[in-house]
Structure 1
Amino acid sequence: MYLEEAKKLGDELWVIVACSYMVNHKPKPVLSDDQRLKMVAALRVVDHAVLGDNHDMFRPLEDIRPDIVVLGHDQHFNSEELEEKIRDRGINAEVVRVTAYERCNTCSTGTIVKLIREKQ
């Protein structure tokens, strides 16, 4: 799984949960930001979970100051461009993409909603 692979790359795993305001590449989350943050924070593999900033996606990185930024398979960023933007902010972090992904019918809120509608 993605987070387990990310955890192997460092000493601590910090997860930034994107706030719904900043989610533009797919439908808005059904669950509230706070609910999603609590769910991620409860995962055993996660050491720290924080909510992303409403206006500046780099602000949490400025607070955390990571050595490595890990992108998942579904994050639509160019790794090299992102690494350059992070360095412009004074953060010397390597950007790595982890492709580990476990496909399941209930891993996406959109898929869950679709399954519920089909059963009605």
Structure 2
Amino acid sequence: MNLPAPAQEALERFGHARGWEQRARLLMQMGEQLEPLSDTQKCEHNRVHGCESLVWLVAEQHDGRWQFKASSDARLLRGLLALLLVRVQGLDSRELAALDLREWFTRLGLERQLSPSRSNGLHAVLLRMTELVSAN
């Protein structure tokens, strides 16, 4: 499976992390690097429901490929969103629909640290992505 370069880079960074503390630090750093959403983008229309925290998702399609922006009020979740975004940026609709989110976070060594509510929240974000993609 060919990964986008930023996803491959994230995989390597998390592969070198020793234990949860280092992974959590990497998550926080990645979350801080997310492109911020404007106040107008943080609206009810862009809100992802099914997450305990506030999460917003914006999607745009360019030449059949999807670009997403996301944010959350929760720091750790912003890092998880950043990891999701590096995996999905530039995919087409078919590739996005076939994405195995659990496998991606397992490869990063994060699956066991995802609480059921965080895991459900990430799946809600992926579901919202596929809804946005299928609407276009």
| Larger-gyration structure (1/2) | 1
TM-score scaled to structure 2, two decimals?
Answer: 0.26
Name the structure with the higher helix share.
2
